[in-house]
Amino acid sequence: MSETMRAVDIKGGMGPISALHITEIPKPKPTGAQALVKIKAFGLNRMDLSQREGQYPVPPGAPKTLGVEFSGVIEAVGESPEKGFKVGDEVFGLAYGGAYAEYIAVSTHLLVHKPKELSWEQCAGIPETWITATQAMYLIANFTPGKSILWHAGASSVSIAGIQLSGADSASAIYATARQDEKCAFAVNTLGATAAFNTKTQDWVAEVMKATNGKGVDIIIDFIGGEYFQQNLDAVARDGVIVNLGFMGGTKVPTGTDISAFIRKRCTFVGSSLRSRDEEYQGRLRDQLVDHALPRFKDGRFTIHLDKVLPWEQIQDAHALLEENKTKGKVICTIS
C-alpha cells in the first residue's frame, strides 16, 4: 500500500485561490478510535476560504489540509474503533481538517453510516452544516417549539439546514434575510420560511417588527457580525438570544451602537463555533444528528441542497463559487 496520497495544498501555506493545487503528501495512519476513510466526496465551507487566507486558526493537532466534512469508505481502523464501524463501511463524517484529500484519518465517534437513500455528494454536504445548525439552535439558543427564529444568510448551507429544522420542530415563525431577491424567494418557497427580507432593498428590522406585531424575534442566528450588531439588538425580542457564528460583515461595531437592549430586553448575545469543540462534544452532536435528522433525510422530509458538484481537480473553481456569494446550498467536490 502506498505511503503517500494526493491532497489539496496551498502554495506558501496561505494565499489566493490561485495558490490551491493538488500534490502528494504522506498518507495518514489510523490509531486508537480512528478510521482511515478513502474519500469519495468532500464539502466546502466558508471557513475553508478564511483558512486558505491564513485567517482561521486550525485546532491544535489538526491536519493543515483544508476540509472538515466528507463521505467515503472505511479502509482501515485503529486499535479501538467505536462499536459498529468496520473496514468496508460506507460513511460520512466530520473532521478537524484534512478532508481535501484521497484519505483521512478521523475518529469513528464523528462518523455516521451512509444511508442507501443518499448519494456520496449529498452525504458530504451534511456534517458541518447540519451539525452547526443543530448546535446553534438547540445547544446554544435553547430553541423550544413555539419560539420564533430568524436565520441570516438565508440561502447559506447552515441556514438552509436551520430553516428546515425550525419548521420540523414547530417554530411559531421562521424568518430569513439575504441580499438577493432570488435567495429570499428560495428561503420562502423552497425551504418553507414564513418570510424573508432583502437586506439591500428593505429595512429588515422594520419588517421583522411588523411581522411580529412589535414583539421581535426570539432567536437570531447571525453570520454577519459587526455590520448587523445594532440591528440584531433592535430586532430581538425580550429575553431573546442572538447567536453569532461568523463575521461576514466585519468584527467592528459601528460608532454610536446602542447596547441598552441588553438591559431593556434582557437579551443575550453569545458567540460559538463547532471546529474548536472537543471530540466528546462533537460526538454528542453527531448522535443528535443521527437520531433527529437522519430519518428525515432518508424519507425526504429534509433535503440537502447541492448548488454545484465539481471534480476536485477544479478546486480553484469551487472556491471561486463560494467567494462570489451566489450559491444556494453546498458546493461539493468529488474524488475519482
How confident is the model over 169-181, as a mean pLDDT?
Answer: 97
The pair phi, psi for residue 43, each rounded to 5°, is -100, 150
SS3 state of residue 227: helix
- Do 164 and 209 share a domain, yes or no? yes
Residue 295, domain member (yes or no): no
Residues 222-243: pLDDT tens digits?
999 999 999 999 999 999 999 9
Residues 290-327: pLDDT tens digits?
999 999 999 999 999 999 999 999 999 999 999 998 89
Q: 85: pLDDT confidence band, cut at 50, 70 and 90?
A: very high
Supply the mean pLDDT for the chain: 96
Written as one letter, the residue type at 290 is V
pLDDT at 275 exceeding the cut of 70: yes
Helices (H), 135-278: 157-168, 181-185, 204-211, 229-235, 261-264
Residue 57: per-residue pLDDT = 85
DSSP for 241-292, please give it: EEEE---TT-SPPPTT---THHHHS--EEEE--STTS-HHHHHHHHHHHHHH
The residue that leads in pLDDT, 205 or 61, is 205
Give the CATH number, domain containing residue 320.
3.90.180.10
SS3 state of residue 93: strand
Residues of the chain above pLDDT 70, percent? 100
Residue 70: per-residue pLDDT = 98
Residue 18, domain member (yes or no): yes
Instruction: Please count the other Cβ atoms lying within 10 Å of the Cβ belonging to residue 17.
Output: 17
pLDDT at 1 exceeding the cut of 80: no
Residue 34, domain member (yes or no): yes
Residue 294, domain member (yes or no): no
Distance CA 240, CA 14 (A): 39
Residue 336: per-residue pLDDT = 92
Residue 9: per-residue pLDDT = 98
The residue that leads in pLDDT, 281 or 151, is 151
The pair phi, psi for residue 156, each rounded to 5°, is -75, 160
Going by their DSSP bridges, the two strands 217-222 and 236-244 should be labelled as: parallel
- Do 158 and 256 share a domain, yes or no? yes
Distance CA 163, CA 47 (A): 21
Number of domains in the chain: 2
How confident is the model over 67-91, as a mean pLDDT?
Answer: 97
Residue 135, domain member (yes or no): yes
Residue 289, domain member (yes or no): no
pLDDT at 190 exceeding the cut of 70: yes
**Cβ neighbours of residue 277 closer than 8 Å, sequence gap 6 or more:** none
pLDDT at 201 exceeding the cut of 80: yes
Residues 95-133: pLDDT tens digits?
999 999 999 999 999 999 999 999 999 999 999 999 999
Residue 287, domain member (yes or no): no
- Do 117 and 31 share a domain, yes or no? yes
Residue 48: give the domain boundaries: 4-126+305-334
Residue 292, domain member (yes or no): no
How confident is the model over 135-155, as a mean pLDDT?
Answer: 97
Residue 178: per-residue pLDDT = 97
Run of H or E residues at 173: strand 173-178
